[in-house]
Amino acid sequence: MEVSLANYKEQVLADYRGNPLIEALPPILSFEEAFEQLSFLPQFHPDERNLSNHHRYHAILRLTRFFQPIGQTLNLEQRFSRFIRYGYIGRNPRKKEHVQVLNELHKKLIHNDDIGLPPDIRATASSFTLMGFSGIGKTSAVERIISLYPQVILHKEPVNCFQIVWLKLNCPYDGSLKSLCMDFFQSIDKLIGTNYFNKYGKPSYSISSMVTRMGQLARLHCIGALIIDEIQHLLSTKGEASEKMMNFFVTLINEIGIPILTIGTMKAKTLLQKDFRQARRSSGQGDMVWQQMKNDDDWEVLITSMWDYQWTRNYTELDRHLLDVIYEESQGIVDIAVKLFILAQTRAIETETEKVTANLIIQVAKEDLKLVQPMLNALKSGNLSEIGKFEDIVPMDIDEYVLNRLPILDLKAKIQEKKDKIATERQMKDLSMEERLVLALINLDIETEIAERISKNIIKKNPTLSISELMQKSLELVEEDRKKLKNNLTKGERSKNQLQLVIDKGKKDKKAAYEALYEEGFIKGLITINSKGD
């Protein structure tokens, strides 16, 4: 298990001061800081375009890890930051009330009483839902955001506890509440090395007993946020099972005091319009709906950031036409746009055209994305009855779910600034590497001109090697050059010696040098030359 030791930071807001669970969290980020920390641009060097086909096929897969935050991602990060901190306000282990609540919970569990919590604790627990089309990037965004937080923090005296900052679970495919509870116990055991699953999570135990134990453990280990993904799986349950699950979430929020983030596709809309929606009205966070991206500045920011990752021999400049084609063929669904870019490059390498074009993108969309074509065609048509056939992409028709698209940052400028910074760092790295290599070779008594030529060629062909590996290859190349030079000299000497022997032998036989060389086949006679001219 990976545990971080608590490092307490002074808090600006009075609400957060004196609470070790909040003080141990990373600093609150500005939009600019969140943009920098959430971005993940995989390693890339333009010289990799010269690699072999099979190596480039592997390199292209780096794009699957590419992550570029846009306006709605930064909005989500801010909400989650408030969400998790506000949930800790009513749970301060330095206050005696915290210990009293734990003791009361234990007594109620023994006597099978209703759990119940003081009003101040219930008031600080909140929840919100993130809904969106499949492949729109919901889960990726949440996972990038929670990666900014340590999952487990160890507090020493006087707190003495493991703080589980976040716990992410997937809603079971069959929508089983018991399976979700069992997963909860197993996840905690994996994180902090406990044995709760054997104590409370066996299949023979009742759901009600599991739920109450979950509440106790959530308080004991100070769970900051419970994240439930794939909530649309509840629709596959029969009878009242889905309603029980939603009531379970309401209990966690209102009675136990755990903030909950639920994630799902548009299928989950009908579930969230029931009682659970009413339970969230006091959260103040508001729900988020990520529909297909519009062909606007956010789209341009995303594609522009991704576009430099080209492993084809010939680089294609991004223009308005290409932006429109990628949007048309992906319909603003990020996962499909990234896959199209990967597939187009792969096809360009396979066919040896070595260039990404608009026609190629259209072709791979048609041939390689056949399974999603019906859904994409429905979105292209704009026909609500056609779109309605695909529950995962039903557009939201409720005003309160409409995403508020505020201009948070000038993302275009920020992207360009980051790209320029990466390019400069890469250039400086290359220059310094070449200088170091040249100096090392000169110190070995290799001529400056040769050292510079070899260093430049070696770094160009092997951009990802370390200085020691580059040095080894350079010395091998120097040795090869020396052997070639020696061989050439040896051949010249051998030829010179052989000719002299023929001439000397001719002299002994009283022959002219020309005659002796002609007889041995080293030169052609005048008769042969003249015969070609006839």
If one compares 202 and 145, the residue with the highest pLDDT of the two is 145
**CA-based nearest residue to 337, from 350, 318, 313:** 318
Calculate mean pLDDT across residues 51-79. 89
Calculate the alpha carbon distances from 365 to 369, 372, 460 in Å. Answer: 5, 9, 35
Percent helix, strand and coil across the chain, each rounded to 5?
A: 60, 5, 30
Does 22 score more than 50 pLDDT? yes
What does the DSSP 8-state code read for residue 127? Answer: E
Calculate mean pLDDT across residues 201-214. 82
Asked which of 158-172, 352-366, 477-491 is least confident by mean pLDDT, the reply is 477-491
Q: How confident is the model at residue 404 (pLDDT cuts 50, 70, 90)?
A: very low
Most trustworthy range by pLDDT among 63-72, 305-314, 374-383, 472-481: 305-314
If one compares 432 and 245, the residue with the highest pLDDT of the two is 245
Model pTM?
0.68
pLDDT digits (tens, 9 = 90+) for 243-297: 666 777 776 676 566 788 989 887 777 666 554 444 444 344 567 888 778 898 8
Average of per-residue pLDDT values in the chain: 77
Rounded distance between C-alpha atoms, residue 313 and residue 301, angstroms: 24
Would you state the pLDDT for residue 291? 78
Would you state the pLDDT for residue 97? 65
pLDDT digits (tens, 9 = 90+) for 494-523: 444 565 676 677 777 777 665 666 676 655
Yes or no: say if 338 and 73 are a contact pair by the CB < 8 Å rule: no
Q: How confident is the model at residue 172 (pLDDT cuts 50, 70, 90)?
A: confident
Asked which of 161-170, 394-403, 422-431, 432-441 is least confident by mean pLDDT, the reply is 394-403
Does 8 score more than 90 pLDDT? yes
Does 486 score more than 70 pLDDT? no
Would you state the pLDDT for residue 403? 31
Would you state the pLDDT for residue 470? 84
Calculate mean pLDDT across residues 194-216. 85
Residue 234 — φ and ψ, nearest 5°?
A: -65, -25
| Cβ neighbourhood burial of 519 (10 Å; 0-12, 13-18, 19+) | middle
If one compares 153 and 206, the residue with the highest pLDDT of the two is 153
Most trustworthy range by pLDDT among 129-133, 195-199, 366-370: 195-199
Does 384 score more than 60 pLDDT? yes
Would you state the pLDDT for residue 341? 94
Residue 470 — φ and ψ, nearest 5°?
A: -65, -40
Token pair, residue 386, equals 């056609």
**Which residue reads 């051949």 in tokens?**
491
Does 11 score more than 90 pLDDT? yes
Token pair, residue 42, equals 């995989």
If one compares 509 and 60, the residue with the highest pLDDT of the two is 60
**Angle value at C-alpha 316, between 315 and 321, nearest 5 degrees:** 175
Calculate mean pLDDT across residues 335-363. 93
Calculate mean pLDDT across residues 75-84. 93
The DSSP bridge partners found for residue 506 are none
If one compares 123 and 26, the residue with the highest pLDDT of the two is 26
Q: How confident is the model at residue 322 (pLDDT cuts 50, 70, 90)?
A: very high
